[in-house]
Amino acid sequence: MAIRDILHHPDERLRTRAKTVSKYDDKLETLVADMFETMYAAPGIGLAATQIDVHLRVMVVDCGKQDPYPLHFINPELTLLEGTEEMEEGCLSVPGIFETVSRAETIKVRAFDQYGIQFEMEADGLLAVCIQHEIEHLEGKLFVDKLSNFKQKRIIKKLSKLNT
């Protein structure tokens, strides 16, 4: 296992749409393990492969006490979005920035595990928000895209100061 570097906004590689995983092999298993290690070291509660410059539809989530175990999703698809909920979000690729974002309150997601076994689950609360957030990364989107242009410019300015 290895801790990978996390890309930071406005890095254009974060805008890459991830490709469907077609091989369930040792490389995929290593990627999932590395992603968990990277997420925990950051520390965070979710990580998409796009954030570590691997453009495959793979994501990991661990919301702690809300869920009994860490979750990983290969080729995730949202099959149900219900209600609306606003929650403050942050992102490992947008360090130090937290903003309120509106998302579906309840979701259903269909995905595969690292061995190619398909599953479906429902989620709400923090887990639903986290899953939606990570799936957007796989589409090349960031939570800051949901904010006003003014806020987006302010965030980029703040991040550029942090990186100098």
Encode pLDDT of 41-97 as tens digits. Answer: 999 999 999 999 999 999 999 998 766 689 999 999 999 999 999 999 999 999 999
For residue 43, say if its preceding peptide bond is cis, omega within 30 degrees of 0: yes
Strand partners, 48: 59
Sole residue written with tokens 């309840």: 106
pLDDT in tens, 88-145: 999 999 999 999 999 999 999 999 999 999 999 999 999 999 999 999 999 999 999 9
The CATH class that applies to domain 12-162 reads alpha beta
Q: What is the pTM of this model?
A: 0.93
User: From start to end of the chain, where are the E strands?
Assistant: 46-48, 58-61, 71-82, 85-91, 94-103, 106-112, 118-124
Catalytic residue check, 134: yes
The three-state secondary structure class of 56 is strand
Q: Given 89, 134, 136, 139, which residue is catalytic? A: 134
